């Protein structure tokens, strides 16, 4: 079984490339047939995956964080190819949800064993797939800041810093949401369409979301005071914010979203587009390599 490895050298703020020799050493140790490509950009990740799709590779391995997985998945979704990951990014929420270790040898062993799960994907505007969580509003502004801050912090700490900095100036806006033949106007901070429980380095915003149930867990954070937000925010890491009166979670397989403000939409930590958007769930759309 031949494996194509895509290593994102910019993952983990440029440190992922340091693990290239370790990864190749483990693949050789397990006598795994592979080819390794060091990516140059997100477009390169997409293009090199497409260019090798018709060749005799069964496995495509994303070495990096959620963003690297995201771009490979957008090519493999709906095919019979298998997607795996060696999680070396800042957040690695997709890998954590699927039980994939950050230890290089353990993650390579998972790839060698080759067990897969058919998981759902989200689809944005009938064009962009995602695996984890897509959102707009407060969280999209936070993600933009987290992706662009120059501070030497990573993972959950980077996201937490961005949350509090964004909160200083953020104002709730009116959102327009349609699902299950319902139309609602909501003054709120943010809305997510979640295929998995967490993002931002371990924030369990939708703790019961599953990538195998054919539904999004939709989370609405309604308008609240900054003091209220500061009180409930730490609870998100354990998924204990869901009982708050300003938090609403429900399930749907399709959601249309817009706002009076031109918020960006991010998915798997990557910028996708501006509002308005439509999110659809595509059941059993991707073969992901997972632990036995």
pLDDT digits (tens, 9 = 90+) for 167-222: 888 999 999 999 999 999 999 999 999 999 999 889 999 999 999 999 999 999 99
List, for residues 101-157, the tens digit of each pLDDT value: 999 999 999 999 999 999 999 999 999 999 999 999 998 998 888 887 777 766 667
Predicted confidence at residue 258, as pLDDT, reads: 98
Residue 122 domain-assigned (yes or no): no
Give yes or no for a contact between 145 and 158, defined as CB atoms under 8 angstroms apart: no
User: pTM of this prediction?
Assistant: 0.92
List, for residues 30-63, the tens digit of each pLDDT value: 999 999 999 999 999 999 999 999 999 999 999 9
CATH code, 20: 3.40.50.10330
Would you state the structure tokens that stand for residue 117, as one six-digit string? Answer: 């799960």
- 57-64 vs 82-87, strand pairing mode: parallel
Cα atoms in the Cβ-side hemisphere of radius 13 Å centred on 169: 5
- 277-289 vs 82-87, strand pairing mode: parallel
135 and 259 share one domain: yes
**Full domain range(s) for residue 85:** 2-114
Question: Burial, 37: exposed, middle or buried (Cβ in 10 Å; 0-12, 13-18, 19+)?
Answer: middle
Distance CA 80, CA 97 (A): 22
Q: Residue 244 pLDDT > 70, yes or no?
A: yes
Q: Please state, as a whole number, how many other Cβ atoms lie within 10 Å of the Cβ of residue 255.
A: 22
Q: Please state, as a whole number, how many other Cβ atoms lie within 10 Å of the Cβ of residue 163.
A: 22
15-24: average pLDDT: 93
User: In the beta sheet, which residues pair with residue 85?
Assistant: 62
47 and 160 share one domain: no
Distance CA 202, CA 130 (A): 17
Distance CA 7, CA 120 (A): 24
List, for residues 155-175, the tens digit of each pLDDT value: 667 778 888 898 888 999 999
User: Nearest CA to 55 among 7, 120, 3?
Assistant: 3
Number of domains the chain contains:
2
**Mean pLDDT over each residue of the chain, to the nearest integer:** 94
CATH code, 219: 2.60.200.40
37 and 142 share one domain: no
Distance CA 226, CA 130 (A): 30
Boundary of a domain, candidates 114, 144, 159: 114
Boundary of a domain, candidates 114, 145, 175: 114
Say which residue, 71 or 237, is predicted with more confidence.
71
233-246: average pLDDT: 94
Predicted confidence at residue 189, as pLDDT, reads: 93
80 and 166 share one domain: no
Distance CA 137, CA 26 (A): 42
Residue 121 domain-assigned (yes or no): no
Would you state the structure tokens that stand for residue 223, as one six-digit string? Answer: 């308008």
């Amino acid at each position: 079984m031949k494996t194509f490895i895509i290593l994102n050298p910019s993952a983990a703020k440029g440190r992922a490339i340091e693990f290239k020799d370790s990864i190749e050493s483990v693949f050789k140790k397990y006598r795994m047939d592979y080819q390794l490509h060091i990516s140059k950009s997100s477009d390169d990740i997409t293009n090199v995956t497409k260019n090798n799709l018709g060749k005799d590779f069964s496995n495509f391995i994303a070495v990096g964080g959620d963003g690297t997985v995201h771009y490979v998945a957008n090519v493999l979704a709906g095919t019979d190819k298998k997607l795996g990951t060696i999680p070396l990014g800042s957040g690695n929420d997709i890998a954590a949800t699927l039980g994939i270790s950050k230890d290089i040898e353990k993650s390579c062993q998972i790839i060698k064993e080759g067990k897969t799960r058919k998981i759902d994907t989200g689809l944005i505007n009938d064009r962009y797939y995602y695996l984890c969580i897509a959102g707009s509003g407060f969280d999209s502004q936070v993600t933009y800041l987290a992706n662009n801050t120059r501070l030497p912090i990573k993972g959950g700490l980077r996201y937490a810093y961005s949350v509090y900095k964004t909160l200083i100036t953020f104002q709730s806006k009116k959102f327009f949401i349609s699902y299950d033949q319902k139309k609602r106007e909501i003054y709120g901070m943010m809305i997510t369409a979640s295929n998995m429980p967490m993002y931002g380095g371990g924030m369990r915003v939708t703790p019961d979301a599953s990538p195998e149930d054919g539904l999004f867990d939709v989370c609405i954070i309604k308008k609240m005071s900054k003091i209220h937000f500061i009180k409930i925010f730490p609870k998100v890491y354990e998924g204990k914010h869901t009982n708050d009166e300003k938090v609403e979670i429900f399930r749907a397989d399709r959601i249309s979203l817009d706002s009076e403000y031109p918020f960006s939409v991010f998915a798997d930590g990557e910028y996708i587009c501006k509002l308005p958007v439509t999110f659809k769930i595509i059941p059993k759309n991707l073969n992901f390599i997972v632990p036995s």
